[in-house]
Amino acid sequence: MKIHALPAFTDNIIWGLESAGELVVVDPGQAEPVLQFLADQSLGLSGILITHHHADHTGGISDLLNQFPSRTVGPLPVFGPGYCKSLGVTHEVTDGSEVWLFNHSLRLETMACPGHTVDHIAFFAHPSGQAPLLFCGDTLFAGGCGRLLGGTASQLFQSLGRFAALPDDTRVFCAHEYTLSNLLFAAQALPENAAIRNRLIQVKDQRAQGLSTLPSTIGLEKKTNPFLLSVAEANLAEFAARRTAKDNFRP
């Protein structure tokens, strides 16, 4: 299985999972990048995964369904929270649901992770012969976490705690390229943290070359993400204060 990053808008990333000539996409806020990639690579679309209801994650669903109304075994499946049924979700998933892709060759488990929104879920998988992977939408970012746009700090704190318990080599496929801004904040919040300073230097170089900083890993986030560091210390008050400070941070 291959995983592709399809840029959308200014900093969104639509992740595409490819296997045996088929593609499944995660959070297609726009249809155009997906349609162009499918055409360029001569692939078919066999499913859509949705983490939450925000338009920059769901806006392309209807156009994709119009282009790919069905597949051999039935209508194109769109997996996501029940809150998103009006946006095109056909298969509601909740915490602990199983999603099977590519003729049952890939199993994903859903994890409820409210905080950024109340309906947010993530998709976790451990493909054979590969490191685990996590499609976490806007809950966890490289060097940061999502804003509170419907959920609470306590919910987000608990959700990130679930992610932190995943294997350290889990690849983190978040939905935005926010790493540089997040690490600039992290370096200000924790100026004595050498791991954050070193990662910031690397990320500055990557972005200067026009390179993506994603995916990250859970292990790296546990060392350099100020919000996961608060989770590790079981310090909800610090976590909430950092989230508020990040909201007001201007790099």
**Using an 8 Å Cβ cutoff, are 221 and 211 in contact?**
no
Q: What are phi and psi of 161, to 5 degrees?
A: -65, -35
User: Mutual orientation of helices 236-247 and 179-189 as an angle, nearest 10°?
Assistant: 120
Active site residue 116: yes
225/83 Cα distance (integer angstroms): 30
Active site residue 169: no
Active site residue 4: no
Residue in 27, 53, 54, 119 annotated catalytic: 54
Residue in 53, 119, 120, 176 annotated catalytic: 176
Residue in 27, 53, 56, 120 annotated catalytic: 56
Tokens of 228: 């996961």
- CB-based contacts of 223, cutoff 8 Å, min separation 6: 195
CA 131 centroid distance within chain: 16
Active site residue 138: yes
Active site residue 91: no
Q: What are phi and psi of 235, to 5 degrees?
A: -115, 85
Buried b (16+ CB within 10 A) or exposed e, 207-217: eeeeeebbbbb
Residue in 52, 53, 119, 120 annotated catalytic: 52
Q: Which 8-state DSSP code applies to residue 143? A: T
Residue in 27, 53, 119, 138 annotated catalytic: 138
Residue in 53, 57, 119, 120 annotated catalytic: 57
**Using an 8 Å Cβ cutoff, are 8 and 117 in contact?**
no
**190: burial class by Cβ within 10 Å (0-12, 13-18, 19+)?**
middle
Residue in 27, 53, 116, 120 annotated catalytic: 116
Active site residue 104: no
Please give the single-letter amino acid code of residue 120: H
Distances (CA, A) of 38 to 3, 106, 135: 13, 20, 20
* Catalytically annotated residues: 52, 54, 56-57, 116, 138, 176
